[in-house]
Structure 1
Amino acid sequence: MVKHNSTVERIAGGMRLGFGGAPVGNLYRAVDDATAHAAVEAAWEHGIRYFDTAPHYGLGLSERRMGEVLAAKPREEFVLSTKVGRLLRPAEVPRPQDEEGFAVPGDVVRVRDYSGDGVRRSLEESLTRLGLDRIDVVFIHDPDEYWQEAIAGAVPELERMRSEGIIGAWGAGMNQWQMLHRFVMETDIDLVMLAGRYTLLDQGARGDLIPAAEARGVGIIDVGVFNSGILASASPDPAATFDYAPAEAEVLARARALALLAEEHGTTLPAAAVAFPLRDPAITAIALGMRTAEQAVEDADLFAAVVPEGFWAEAVERGLLAVDPASGETPRSS
């Protein structure tokens, strides 16, 4: 079930694989414009029509690069989301490189602003960088320590914009499920972007957030399905990361056990990681980060892969999964 919101319904109806825009903003390492453009083009060629970006991603670089490709596409054929909460302003003391994980010059800084005025200015500036006429979905980005500011400022402004048809839908995107649950219960939110909390290795969101979203008709975009890397390889490396830190022994052992089980069933760990959230009827779509054309093709192939039903049943039987999301049961543990 999704809320009766035409934008969310469009995503649910035929855009279940989205393009995550952080890598084309030079997340962790740089790619040139041509490579980034080719990634977006390859995604389009493989049927991807939902694109997500943010000012945070490369200090505006992701928005600029994505817009340069999408500006040439029929506007009614795709859905675009960006985010608010971080305004980009000239640095008083420029740094050689950004200090928040993006391989870009540090001549711009992020200024947190979750006010109504901040939302308006952020979207105006995003439209300029994108070179597009509208943004379909706006997410309040990482409001973890800014709940009061977001509720008092961003939420009423986004609701006004939605009611006036300036945007199609609004939501919140976070790396935790607890505050997203508050948004679902306390606001008229359309959808949430849930990062890393509903994966093969972490089903924490299934206890409270997902049932609440289902009950209130709120869509869920599930991202971070590889848990920052450990699930992205068919054979997890001992140095693999989970939640952006070295994976603990128990987590690594479970990932390796899932990888071996996937191999036994003729599939791969990354294919299972992509398929897992999409088995849950509460999940509207997923978005995968794409840096190059080759990666876009690989992600499209993972999305299209069929993971045998036996894999899911045996993963639950062995205790590697708390529950198969297709069963509709509540997990035994997170």
Structure 2
Amino acid sequence: MTAPDSPGASTKPFVEALRRGPFGLGTAPLAGLYDAVPPEQARAALRAAWDGGVRYYDTAPHYGAGLAERRLGEFLRTVPRAEAVVSTKVGRLLVRADGPDEAAGFADDAPLRRVIDFSADGVRRSLDESLRRSGLDRFDLVFIHDPDDHWEQAVGQAYPALARLRDEGVVRAIGVGMNQAEMLARFVRETDIDAVLVAGRYTLLDQRADEDLLPACLRRGVAVIAGGVFNSGILADPGPDAHYDYQPAPAPILARALAMQAECQSFGVTLPAAAVQFPRRHPAVTTVLVGARSAEEVDQDLALLDTPVPDELWPRLAER
């Protein structure tokens, strides 16, 4: 199975829609990732993003066991839906359980457990359930979510099912979202996806996506959404309790982040401003995806993108 080198006719308008606004908003934090978020705080964050020009919103059943989809759907009913681009994901079904899935890391979880399912039936069921939870009439983009250990089923069943839904006009575009670059590059080479969401693999600390994935996306006309730009927080605040890739940061990684922070400070720039702006410099990157759990954090992210970063700083950071 090999995709054609020329992108489909629907790709370019879709890419332009993703480029609207300063960044995309990831909704995992609004669903209680690590710590609970009150409903009014989530609503205020979504409103601040919309008022700040954000028009792309990403969610998933995994985030708060459906809570992110519900909260996002409720908010989108208060604004012109046609102006928004919304993505969700398939690959995890939510099944009734005796209690919350504590291993998932969400404080606001319902009594549901996540069941991995990349089958064609699982894809259709997942999307139907996401539509019901959110109250939306459609999703613009649907990602296959973290198929790391499930290549055969994901490429053999989930991808064809999504491609059919795209052909039928049920969804506008399809893609794959992962925390690795290597399998994403394989999807780009061997299928006809429209977009990839690559988390944490094209950042100031980790640029492995540029080895194969980003060049492949440029050749095929595949949109790239760069997520995890702070690498789980270390590039936002490289302190002793910083996390990298969802784990306590190893000493060598922390040392590199601190050296980058010092370089930024010598130019009068904060490390978070450089971190959020770095991926946008690559010609393959369509937009960045930033998570926030409050209106204040949204405003901070908007300010980071408005911070001037001297061109002379980038090669200094590359040396680190």
Q: TM-score range by the shorter chain?
A: over 0.9
Residues 29 and 291, structure 2, Cα contact 8 Å, conserved in 1:
yes
Residues 171-202 of structure 1 deviation map (CA, whole Å, 9 limit, x = unaligned): 00001111101100100011100010000000
Q: Distance in 2 between matches of 1:253 and 1:285?
A: 28
Give the match for residue 286 of structure 1. Answer: 288
Structure 1 pair 189/308, CA: closer, same or farther in 2 (3 Å)? Answer: same
Task: Using the TM superposition, name which of 250-259 and 179-188 deviates more.
Answer: 250-259
Q: Secondary structure at the match of 2:316?
A: helix
Match of 1:9 among 2, 6, 16: 16
| Alpha-carbon distance, 1:16 to partner | 4.9
* CA-CA distance at 1:220 after TM superposition: 0.6
Deviations 1:16-68 (A, max 9, x none): 50000100110000011111111101100100000000000000000001111
Q: Is it true that 1:180 corresponds to 2:184 in the alignment?
A: yes
Measured in 1, the distance between the counterparts of 2:117 and 2:317 equals: 44
TM-score (norm 2): 0.94
Letter in 2 for 1:70: L
Looking at structure 2, the residues matched to 2 and 311 of structure 1 have their Cα atoms a distance apart, in angstroms, of: 35
User: Would you say the 8 A contact 1:2–1:8 is kept in 2?
Assistant: no
State how 1:88-127 maps to structure 2 within 5 Å. Answer: 88-91=94-97, 94-95=98-99, 98-105=102-109, 107-127=111-131
Q: Return closer, same or farther for 1:127/1:293 CA change in 2, 3 Å cut-off.
A: same
**Structure 1: segments with no counterpart, 5+ residues:** 321-334
| Pairs within 5 Å for 1:63-212 | 63-91=69-97, 94-95=98-99, 98-105=102-109, 107-212=111-216
Distance 1:308 1:195 in 2: 26
The Cα of 1:105 is off from its aligned counterpart by 4.1
Q: What is the TM-score normalised by the length of structure 1?
A: 0.91
Cα distance in 1 for residues equivalent to 2:100 and 2:316: 51
Q: Who is 1:221 aligned against?
A: 225
Residue type matched to 2:181 in 1?
W
* Alpha-carbon distance in 2 for matches of 1:123, 1:179: 23
Bigger drift between 239-248 and 276-285 goes to 239-248
Q: Work out the number of aligned pairs and report it.
A: 313
Tell me how far apart the structure 1 counterparts of residues 235 and 310 of structure 2 sit (CA, whole Å).
Answer: 18
Cα distance in 2 for residues equivalent to 1:191 and 1:248: 32
Return the alpha-carbon distance in structure 2 between the equivalents of residues 16 and 156 of structure 1: 32
Alpha-carbon shift at residue 2 of structure 1 (Å): 7.7
Q: CA deviation at 1:244?
A: 1.4
Q: Percent identity?
A: 53
Mapped to 2, the partners of 1:98 and 1:24 lie a distance apart of: 17
Structure 2, unaligned runs of 5 or more: 1-5
